[in-house]
Amino acid sequence: MRPTRWLVFSSMAAFTSAAIKQNCAHSCDSNGGCLPLIYLWGAQKAGTTSLYSMMHDVGVCGGNTRYSGFAHWTKDIKETHYLVSVDVPSRSRYTATFLSHDCPCRCFVEATPDNLFVPPTAARLRFMMNQAEAAQARFIIQLREPVSRMISYLQMERRFNRSDLAVETSIVTAQSIWNQYSADRPEWTSATALFASLNDCTVNKSKGGVGPAQCHQVAMTVANLGAAVMGGCSQPPMTAYDVNFASFGGTSPLTGCRSGYSPALSRGMYAPQLVFLLSQFSRSQVLLLSMDTFKSTDKTSYMQSILDFARIPATIAPTAFSSSSQLNRAGDHLDPMMDLARCTSRDALGEFYAPWNQVLYALEPDFPPFASFKEVKCM
């Protein structure tokens, strides 16, 4: 069970003097049930709690306990976990999680970070939306250097008593599970065979090497193959960064695909996870951010850009985040009170994720490269 302090924000002290002055774009029915149009789509352990707390402070709302499954909370729940837990979603049940009388500004945000890496979630969401809603949806994704993210996740599992394994043991176990999971999948063999062709990509438009157009095409191919492995089936291919919404919706999503969580090691393979989302929604609807940038840049302008992208009508005061311990905690790499991985295991994770980072950079040339995994503390 997740501790309340991570998911409910109704009693948190205000960080800003901003407030929403008018309603957000919304889609509510005559019964007061609303379909969120703003999604914090992950990544897990990459600062989504901090981003949500900022949004909540200016007036956005989370889900309602009556339909979220977390019976001891009343409202403003950050994570509903609905899209990761149902095979065929019910629009009436989902919209009843977000009630208009609980949120006067109609600025609903669904902030379950697991939505990013569970293969069918975007298809489940698109299945419930009409064409206009699909076109209005906004997705905010903040990514974290994957080795740091993985170790932080394993520490969290121990801290919340969801695992009795030491971090080192959990890494070895996760590697073994992934090796068994991917061993007989031809898409995995095809994807890894293409890694070398991305080594010469000109990610930052420098002279020499392979042109960015060719890099992007190879990256899309590898990302689609990785998504097929993670999903256990063929996803609708990500063929472009623009989606014809008329071609989606109205059918049960991704029949035969892996309905739940893929192995833990794959959660740091970000490019395939973008396939899950971008096979259903357009790239222009996605704001892709880096936790490294979040830690190093001015948080007021950073947060304001998120509000503007999400079309939340609020302006943040210049000194809003000067004393925010919640936001400052998002910059911590690891919990110093928990055990660490051995340096050899950390390096093995770094080698595993390195080519997938390269796929991400080729797919998204403007995305800033992650800090070195060598900065992650080890023993």
Where in the sequence numbering do the catalytic residues fall? 45
CA distance 356 to 348: 14
Residue with tokens 């898409």: 187
**With contact defined as beta carbons under 8 Å apart, do 43 and 140 qualify?**
no
Query: How many helices and strands, by DSSP H and E, does the chain display?
Result: 14, 6
Q: Which two tokens stand for residue 379?
A: 């023993």
Task: Count how many Cα atoms sit within 13 Å of the Cα of residue 155 in the half-sphere of its side chain.
Answer: 19
152 annotated as a binding-site residue: yes
Q: Which helix (H) or strand (E) holds 40?
A: strand 38-40
Query: Which DSSP category does 24 fall into?
Result: P
Query: Which DSSP category does 250 fall into?
Result: S
Q: Alpha helices, DSSP H only, in 80-211?
A: 91-95, 121-128, 131-136, 146-159, 167-182, 186-193
**Residues 6 or more apart whose Cβ sits within 8 Å of residue 244:** none
**With contact defined as beta carbons under 8 Å apart, do 280 and 243 qualify?**
yes
For the beta carbon of residue 353, count every other beta carbon within 10 angstroms: 22
Burial group, residue 42, by CB count within 10 angstroms (0-12, 13-18, 19+): buried
Query: Which DSSP category does 143 fall into?
Result: E
Residues in a beta bridge with 110: 39
CA distance 21 to 204: 40
* 3 state DSSP class of 299: helix
3-state secondary structure 4-22: HHHCECCCCCCCCCCCCCC
Residue with tokens 């899950």: 276
Query: Binding site membership for 3'-phosphoadenylyl sulfate: which residues?
Result: 144, 152
